[in-house]
Amino acid sequence: MAAVSAFIAVDWGTTNRRAWRIEDGRAVDVMRDATGILAVPSDGFADAAAEIRAKLGDLPMLMAGMVGSNRGWIDAGYVPCPATLDDLAARLAPAGEDAWIVPGVRFIAGSRGDVMRGEEVQLLGAVAGGLAPGDATMCQPGTHCKWARIEGGTLTRFATAMTGELFALLRDHALIGAAMKGDVADGPAFRQGVARSGEGDLTAALFGVRASSVLALRDDADAAAYVSGLLIGADCRAQVQPGATVHLLADPALGTLYTTAIEAVGGATVPVDSHAAFLAGIIRIRELQS
Amino acid sequence: MAAVSAFIAVDWGTTNRRAWRIEDGRAVDVMRDATGILAVPSDGFADAAAEIRAKLGDLPMLMAGMVGSNRGWIDAGYVPCPATLDDLAARLAPAGEDAWIVPGVRFIAGSRGDVMRGEEVQLLGAVAGGLAPGDATMCQPGTHCKWARIEGGTLTRFATAMTGELFALLRDHALIGAAMKGDVADGPAFRQGVARSGEGDLTAALFGVRASSVLALRDDADAAAYVSGLLIGADCRAQVQPGATVHLLADPALGTLYTTAIEAVGGATVPVDSHAAFLAGIIRIRELQS
């Protein structure tokens, strides 16, 4: 398929946005700022999109992420699992002139449901761009960590863990938060937390941080890393079978923590460049749209 | 042993206090107010104790609970496990004239530690008062749920789960909190949460509340009960073996929820009156002191 004509690709999230000018299937210019959807008034998205065009050119614009949520520009809805890039391209939601938003993906099994918005472009883009095989388990750590299964190049199911959000809640509002002022890094305290998570009593393990602080069994400087190990360890144990390979789309800091935890539960990781995966996905969607 | 002379027993917690005038081994008068330790300035405990004596009589006073913490009147320390009422009576901390505070109990196993302060009088008092056998698993649900093992009448080990605190954190501060405005009661939603907790992926199950709200798979009015079921279910699964009997020291509402969850994981419960257990324990400590 011939490369599509120039356009702007936007990954527009809750707190940040990143946009690229794409020419001949490659990013030739990029901008990033903190104008996530929460920084845009509900009637301000056309203006906010015009800012992007002012910097990257007056071109068609294809967006993904929370900009397509009910708090964003328009609600772009969800396509069901199993989902492909073709499914996403067939359901683009028009938002302003020469601008479209990629829908999210929903997964429903019985009474259980899950949703994603933005991650689907990375996940399916990783496969389309040759960054991951067509059969893979992928993980996107963060505030809401996504665990996805790709089979035959199709997103078949996924689960979201509120790992990062729970860490922030505990640090900022819990009794144990008073001790969680140290840095989080891979090290003995993080690995002790990962090991402790194997006992399956997360709520008791978390209170243990308070008791260990009171009894001076652990330096408070290590508490945050230990709690991170408990939460990420519990997350990985629930999702990773021994022997499994996980394709990890993460920034370096979280990538290191998840690699340590996944290896501790008997898995292995392959790093995937999440921006490259996003670009491969959104360019393919634009090709399918044209 | 002859009944001790009259004294005042005080269960003085973080947000409430309850005091009884004890004569001939029985409570003959009681007061309760919201003057927990957080409502008392650090130099105000002598005056706060005088308020109790003004209502219940100018008698020796024996206190237990957070009044013995580093935020209370004085830090009464901890006795180690295995702990008995004799150990507690031998380590009473003087606090003002004719007034003493019962120490807490600590449990340390390797790098793991736990602490309690106030619950130990109930636990050992339940046995001393014939409300529970000398070999028992006991549970005190609440903000910080205690699970204790009593062997031969001795408190040998315990674990604290931050079940209630985590529920409040999620309701008040998490993204899923927006859906958690309904009441918590035993019913289908609570039981569905208990069942779902069996899959061992608590952080993912919690995010499912958000997804189910977005996808309209569950009435938001049921979300709080479902989350309560997830947390209490996870707590009970970690602590209760199938076939086990748990002696439950709880108020009626939490007692019902824990009984449902414990039965769901194959255990059985026996209710124990926690105030009667406290009185049995503190009276016995006073006898041992005399």
The nearest alpha carbon in chain B to A215 belongs to B113
* Common-topology check for domains A7-129+275-289 and A163-271: yes
Task: Please check whether residue B103 is in contact with residue B88, taking contact to mean a CB–CB distance below 8 angstroms.
Answer: yes
Contact A207, B144 (CB under 8 A): yes
- Residues from chain B that touch A237, judged by Cβ atoms under 8 A, are 200
**Which residue of A113, A114, A203 is in closest CB contact with B162?**
A203
For residue B113, give both structure tokens. Answer: 């530690």
Q: What is the model's pLDDT at position B145?
A: 97
For the domain spanning A7-129+275-289, the CATH number is: 3.30.420.300
Q: What is the mean pLDDT of residues A60-70?
A: 96
CA of B265, closest CA in chain A: separation in Å? 15
A-B contacts (CB, under 8 Å) = 150
Residue written as token pair 């399956």: A200
Q: Which of A144, A176, A203, A232 best probes binding to B when mutated, by most B CB atoms within 10 angstroms?
A: A203
Residues 6+ apart with CB under 8 A from A199: A205, B238
- Residue B115's φ and ψ, nearest 5 degrees, are -140, 155
Q: pLDDT tens for residues B151-186?
A: 999 999 999 999 999 999 999 999 999 999 999 999
pLDDT in tens, A21-50: 999 999 999 999 999 999 999 999 999 999
pLDDT digits (tens, 9 = 90+) for A77-111: 999 999 999 999 999 999 989 999 999 999 999 88
Chain-chain contact of B166 with A203 (C-beta, under 8 angstroms): yes
Which residues of A fall within a CB distance of 8 Å from B214? 113, 115
CA pair distance B182, B194, nearest whole angstrom: 17
Neighbours of A5 (CB within 10 A): 12
For the stretch B184-232, pLDDT in tens is: 999 999 999 999 999 999 999 999 999 999 999 999 999 999 999 999 9
- Predicted structure pTM score: 0.93
> Contact B162/A112, CB-based, under 8 Å?
no
Structural domain A163-271, CATH architecture: 2-Layer Sandwich (3.30)
Strands A104-109 and B17-23: unpaired
Check if B106 contacts A (Cβ < 8 Å): yes
- Partners of residue B197 in chain A, C-beta under 8 Å: none
Taking an 8 Å cut-off on Cβ atoms, the answer to whether A234 and B202 are in contact is yes
What residues in A contact B142, CB-CB < 8 Å?
Answer: none
For domain B7-129+278-289, the CATH class is: alpha beta
Cβ-defined contact of A214 to B115 (cutoff 8 Å):
yes
Of A147, A162, A208, the CB nearest to B206: A162
The rounded radius of gyration (Å) of the Cα atoms in chain B is 20
Q: How far does A42 lie from chain B, in Å, by closest CA?
A: 19
Average pLDDT over residues B120-133: 98
Cα angle, residue A37 at apex, residues A35 and A40 outer, rounded to 5°: 70
At residue A202, the pLDDT reads: 95
Chain A residues with CB inside 8 Å of B75's CB? Answer: none
Helices marked H in chain A — which ranges? Answer: 45-56, 85-90, 119-128, 163-173, 188-196, 202-214, 223-239, 252-264, 274-289
Domain ranges within chain A, ordered by starting residue = 7-129+275-289, 163-271
Chain B nearest-CA distance from A121, in A, is 19
Q: Which residue in A269, A257, A140 sits closest to A189, CA to CA? A: A257
When pLDDT is cut at 50, 70 and 90, the band that residue A3 belongs to is low
The CA R_g of chain A, rounded to the nearest whole Å, is 20
- State the pLDDT at residue A290: 73
Judge: B165–A172 Cβ closer than 8 Å, yes or no. no
Concatenating the DSSP letter of every residue in chain B gives -PPPPPEEEEEE-SS-EEEEEEETTEEEEEEEES--GGGS-TT-HHHHHHHHHHHH-S--EEEESGGGSTTSSS---EEESSB-HHHHHHTPEE-STTEEE--EEEEEETTEEEEESSHHHHHHHHHHTTSS-SSEEEEE-SSSEEEEEEETTEEEEEEEE-HHHHHHHHHHHSGGGGG--S---SSHHHHHHHHHGGGS-HHHHHHHHHHHHHTT-S-GGGHHHHHHHHHHHHHHHHH--TT-EEEE---HHHHHHHHHHHHHTT-EEEE--HHHHHHHHHHHHHHHH-
Q: Which of chain A's residues have a Cβ under 8 Å away from the Cβ of B200? A: 200, 237-238
Q: Which residues in B lie closer than 8 A to residue A210 (C-beta atoms)?
A: 115, 162
- Asked whether residue B255 carries a pLDDT value surpassing 70, the answer given is yes
Using the beta-carbon criterion (under 8 Å), do B111 and A214 form an inter-chain contact?
A: no
Contact yes or no for B215 and A144 at CB 8 A: no
CB contact, 8 Å: A75 with chain B? no
Kindly determine whether residue A113 and residue B212, on different chains, have CB atoms separated by under 8 Å: yes
Between CA B271 and CA B132 the distance in angstroms is: 9
Whether A54 has its CB under 8 Å from any CB of chain B: the answer is no
pLDDT for residue B3: 67
B residues 176-195 lying closer than 8 A (beta carbon) to A: 176, 192
Of B78, B113, B204, the CB nearest to A161: B204
DSSP state for residue A18 in the 8-state scheme: E
Task: Determine how β-strand B93-94 pairs with β-strand B99-101.
Answer: antiparallel
pLDDT band at A2 (very low <50, low <70, confident <90, very high): low
User: How many other CB atoms are found less than 10 A from the CB of residue B75?
Assistant: 15
Kindly report the nearest CA distance between residue A218 and chain B, in angstroms. 8
The percent of residues in chain B predicted with pLDDT above 90, rounded, is: 95
Tokens at B120, concatenated: 């130990």
Contact B215 A172 (CB under 8 A): no
Sequence length of chain B is 290
Going by pLDDT thresholds of 50, 70 and 90, the confidence category of residue B111 is: confident
Give the tens place of pLDDT for each residue, A181-238.
999 999 999 999 999 999 999 999 999 999 999 999 999 999 999 999 999 999 999 9
List beta partners, residue B261: none
Strand order in the sheet with B136-140: B154-161, B145-151, B136-140, B245-248, B268-271
Residue type, A257: L
Compute CA distances A200 → A176, A205, A232, A259, B205, whole Å. 19, 9, 13, 20, 14
